[in-house]
Amino acid sequence: MKIYIDFDDCLCETARYFSVLVKEMFGKDVPYEDIGFFDLKRSFALTDEQYEEMMIKAHTPEALLSFEETPGASETVNSFINAGHEVSIITGRPNVAYEASREWLDRHGLQRVRLYCLNKYGRDSFIKNSEFSLEIEDYYKMHFDYAIEDSPLAFRFFDHLPDLKIMVYDRPWNHDCELPGSGYKRCLDWETIKKSIR
């Protein structure tokens, strides 16, 4: 089986990091549970300038390497690889974050996964002229049997794969989202995901 896994808020606790960061930088108190939108600018009620400043800080290697692993992520992903599945991490982070992201994976025992940066969200404002390691047309040539993703904005990248099983990692910003099809299933944790992939 070929498995697509998103990075932020699937493998690691990115939003929890942002909740702390926005308090440090701007004194805004928005607990993780209250992050109601995938759009952090909206969730934290930031100006364009504040958002840009925050995103630049969050994409430094020190910041990226500090993200906590989501419980059970590494162990479960390695169990998939041990069972012969092929795992690709498809992140919406820009290429400037590639090396630190790769290092985070290696430090968390995920040396065997592939990592690709795909422009999922049309983000290029916070890091000017961002590059991505995976072109959209090359992404569409890839095949997956399973996908693990938290962002409703990324669901459009699954429309071309009618048999794909999508596990939506349960997060506050996707609670109100109606899952777009029968291939979608909400998963509370990696234990549930582990049981769903055979």
**Site residues (vs Mg ion, CB under 5 A):** 6, 8-9, 150-151
* Residue 92 Cβ vs Mg ion, minimum distance, rounded to whole Å: 7
Closest by CA to 159, choosing from 174, 144, 177, is 144
Task: Tell me how far, at minimum, the Cβ of 152 lies from Mg ion, in Å.
Answer: 10
For residues 9 and 13, which CB has a smaller minimum distance to Mg ion in the complex? Answer: 9
H, E, C per residue of 70-102: CCCHHHHHHHHHHCCCEEEEEECCCHHHHHHHH
> Which is nearer to Mg ion, 29 or 159 (by Cβ)?
159
The encoded tokens of residue 73 equal 């992520």
CB 161 within 8 A of CB 141: no
Compute CA 138 distance to the chain's CA centroid, rounded to the nearest angstrom: 19
Task: Point out the residue whose Cβ comes nearest to Mg ion.
Answer: 8
**Both structure tokens of 142:** 């890839």
Residue 8 or 13 with smaller CB distance to Mg ion:
8
How far is 130 from 166, CA to CA, in rounded Å?
28
Contacts of 142 (CB under 8 A, 6+ apart): 2, 88
The DSSP 8-state label assigned to residue 69 in this structure reads B
Our CB check for Mg ion shows the closer of 80 and 92 to be: 92
Q: How far is the CB of 169 from Mg ion (least distance, A)?
A: 8
Closest approach of Cβ 10 to Mg ion, in Å? Answer: 6
Q: Which is nearer to Mg ion, 6 or 47 (CB)?
A: 6
The least CB distance from residue 84 to Mg ion, in Å, is: 26
